[in-house]
Every structure is written in structure tokens, then in C-alpha cells.
Amino acid sequence: VDVGTSGTKAVLFDATAGALARAHQTYALHHPAPGFFELNPEEVWTAVTSCLQRIGRACGSKPIRALAISVQGEAVIPIGEDGRPLARSPVSADARGAPYLDPLCKALGHLQIARITGQPPTSLSSLTKVMWWREHRPDLYERTRKFYCYGEFLLSRLGVEPAIDESMASRTMAYDIHQKRWSPELLCQAELEASRFASVVPSGTVVGKMPDATSRQLGLPPGIEIVVGGHDQACAAFGAGVVDSQTALYSIGTTEVIAAVFDHPSDLLLEKNVPCYPHVVSGKYLALIGSQTGGRLLEWFTETFVRVADSKVRAAAVPIEKLTERMDDQPGDLMLLPFFAGSGSVRNDPAAKGALIGLTFETGLEDVVKALLEGITYEQAAGLAHVPEIDERVKLFRCGGGGARCPAWLRIKANILGRPMETLAVEDTACLGAALIAGCGIGVFDSPQTAVACVIRPGQRFEPDPKKYRRYREKLERYGRLANQFARPI
């Protein structure tokens, strides 16, 4: 099960990663005030229930051995004494915690917080959201027994003991990844007790069997083992077979993320604003280079400029593949700076603004589309170049997310990055990663490496063209100069 910001997806896999059934259910992201983005936990639970019921109908009486959940980071829920949510949950993008970050950094130091948690300090963390509740909703804060992320909340609804794994605990910015406990230093500064959070266990820990009453409610066969999953990016990396240092996940979704594996945390990464936190693969750490744009920029462009006034057409989705039909395969002349929601993690400039440079009367729709695809990738390439600890070790990118279905974009990425881009036979990498965690937890696989060797199958491979790569190198230098004028230089 993959619980995201816009919807929940459930996939039933067999032991060879064959998908036996799928279900997806969306829900509303509420926007009650500027900078506030919330989910209703009950709506999320309803979506999870709907997905699991559809999986149950599809599988009939066949046994399901185990279930694990891939969880969106940072979203946090105040839970009352009766186990019910007391408010909607602010999600990762919710910025209400911004005023509370500076006092934490002044008290403990920016780098020290990063060293403790594996997360460069951010106002988007679960911890700063909780601090907002303490000041602005003291009544709610006092009535809150636990602060859960979605994994623990859903485990409690499934009838087992709530627990959080290290990859998710790290994302709260309240967990010490070295001491393997909730951080006394950070909790002291936040005036928060460790008992308000769930117990932390390794990803893959079996926390119990689904009670028969819950199984009947969901229409699922009895005896399903419930296994603690992990952060969605870590699950997606595992589901893409990213368990060694030479292969990285390139997630092309609403935003873009490059995820690479390390054997230990690195100050060099943290100093460059790159998170390096526990992977769902035991003994490994995951480093992320993230952007604030990706598919959402193409959606904005489609909504604003491509769809016509006719309501039937406007209501229909316009896939990336349709937008790229008339594109040639040469590097474009336009230059897009993709800072439509600030910069990504490496520049760390939320005030950065986007731009499209080089327009003429001869510019066509396909030219702008190409500029979007190139500009998003240029920024990720610039981030990689700033982090040689990742850039110099990665030889192959495994692609996930909706953008991985667009061959034209993958060719552009291969030519800009100078490395192969490889799709996967199973597109639902976060769901597959959670399923592999469940399989490891109950002993279907004796190790994560065995799981990857058994089930990860490549799809299509896009190799860089040496001539286009050289041309893109020149354009990337120009991009870097322009980007440094519109956002914090790197």
C-alpha cells in the first residue's frame, strides 16, 4: 500500500512481483490558508479501506501473506485518547512551521541538527508542525495523546500495535539516527515528550496479524501479517532495486527526486543540504536530491496553455507523450528555469522564481514543451554536479513515476546526464518496495539483496548519444549561469 498526498494505491503482488490486483483512490488536499496544505485522515482511511476491499474482491479466497505500507513523509496527525484524529494533518508542503525553525537552529546549530537526524533542518518537518499546534492550538495540543505519521495511524486502524520505522522517524526531524531513539536535544527545545511519538522499529518488523474482525470488514482473507514499511522515497528506491552505490532511483513524479545509497551518513552531503538518512534496507542510508517541480510543471503548462475552452477537452488528461509528439530529438534553443515553487533541496531557495528565456515569433508549442523537459532535468543535473559524492559513483538511473512512461523525456535525461536511464517492468515502485519489505519481514526472501535479484526486472533502456551529450554540456553551462541569477547560486 502506498499512501501519498493525492491518493492511495494498493497492489497485490506474488513472490515474483507479478501484479495480481490493483486499486487506486484519490482524496482532496485541503488548502485552508496560504501555506497550509492538509489531508483529512478519515478520508485517507476511507481510501485505504476502499483499495483493500477491491483487492479483497479481486483475490477472492486466495491467501494474502503480508502487508506493508509506503508512507508520505512529514505529514503528522494529532491523535486523541480515543485513538481518533483531532484535526486534519498538515502534509510535507505545509509551511506553517517556518517560524519555529530558526530558534531550533540557533539553539543547536544547523549542521548539528542535520547530523542528529540525517535531515538538513527544514520548516516542513513534522516537528515544526507540532510546535505550531502547541502555540496556536494549545487546547488540541493538550488533548493529543500521540503524534502519528500515516504509517502508525493506519497500523492502528488495521488493528495492530502502531510503530514507525527509522526512515520515517528521521523525516520527522525529531529522531537521532545514531543513538536510535527520539532525540532528547530536539525534543527538549520543542518542549515535547518522546512518549508522544510511536515506538521506532526496523523496517520489515512484523507487528502482528490483522484481527479477524478487521479482515472481515475489509473483505480480506484471514491471517495477514502486518509488517512495518517505510518512507515512500525509500520504498520506491527499494522497489527499483536501488541497494548499491552504482544505481540510483530517478523518480519522475509530481516533483523529481534522485535517490542514491550510502553505507553511512555523510557530513559532506548534509553540508550541501542533501538528506542522508536510514534506508528501508538495513545498514544502508539514502541520500536525496529533490526538486519542487516535475510533472506538476507540465500539468500547470497544460492547464494554462494547452487545453481549449471546450469543457470535455479541458476535463481530459493530456499525457506527456501527446505533448512530445511533434518534438525533434535535438537540444532546444529555449532555456527554462524551473523555479515555479522555489528551488530544490540543493539550492534551498524557496524564494527563487522561474523564467522562460529565448522566445521569438517562431517559437512553437513543441519548443516550449521541450524547454520544460530540459529545464527540469538541467536543474537536477546542476544539483548532481554540486554533489560529486553522488554524481561520481552513479552509473545507472532506474526510473519510476509517471514521467518514466515518456520515452522522449528519458532520452533527454540520458543525453543531459550522460548515463543510461532504465525503466522497470513494475512501474509501481513504492508499492513494490513495500511488498518486498513485507516479503523480507515474513521470510519469503532471506535478504533485501536476494529480493532485488529475484524480482526486479528492467524494462526499456535509453543510452546517451555522445554528440547530443556534448551539446547539452555546453547548454548546461549556460543554464548554470542563468540559474545562479534567478536563485541561490551553487
> Looking up cell 545507472, which residue turns up?
396
Tens of pLDDT, residues 300-325: 898 888 765 445 445 455 566 777 88
**pLDDT of res. 326:** 80
**pLDDT of res. 354:** 96
User: What CATH fold (topology level) applies to the domain 243-486?
Assistant: Nucleotidyltransferase; domain 5 (3.30.420)
Could you tell me the sign of the dihedral formed by the alpha carbons of 386, 389, 393, 394, in that order?
A: negative
Q: In terms of Cα–Cα distance, which of 135, 161, 134 is closest to 148?
A: 161
122-142: b (≥16 Cβ within 10 Å) or e? bbbbbbbbbbbbbeeeeeebe
| Whole-number Å distance between alpha carbons of 402 and 297 | 13
**pLDDT of res. 49:** 98
Q: In terms of Cα–Cα distance, which of 219, 208, 238 is closest to 67?
A: 208
The 3-state DSSP class for residue 230 equals strand
Q: Which residues of the chain have pLDDT under 70?
A: 307-320
Per the CB < 8 A criterion, the answer to whether 321 and 296 are in contact is no
Our separate counts of H helices and E strands in the chain read 20, 23
**pLDDT of res. 318:** 57
Q: Which residues in the chain are classed under CATH 3.30.420.40?
A: 2-236, 243-486
**pLDDT of res. 329:** 87
Q: In terms of Cα–Cα distance, which of 386, 375, 383, 288 is closest to 340?
A: 375
Phi, psi angle pair for 245, to nearest 5°: -80, -15
Per the CB < 8 A criterion, the answer to whether 190 and 92 are in contact is no
| Whole-number Å distance between alpha carbons of 428 and 268 | 32
- Give 227's strand partners: 68, 206
**pLDDT of res. 319:** 65
| Whole-number Å distance between alpha carbons of 268 and 119 | 13
Burial class (CB in 10 A: 0-12, 13-18, 19+), 157: middle
Name the region of 291 (left: φ>0; alpha: ψ -120 to 50; beta: rest).
beta
User: What CATH fold (topology level) applies to the domain 2-236?
Assistant: Nucleotidyltransferase; domain 5 (3.30.420)
Strand residue runs (E) in 85-166? 89-90, 146-148, 163-164
Q: Looking at this protein, which amino acid is placed at residue 146?
A: K
Tens of pLDDT, residues 86-132: 999 999 989 999 999 999 999 999 999 999 999 999 999 999 999 99
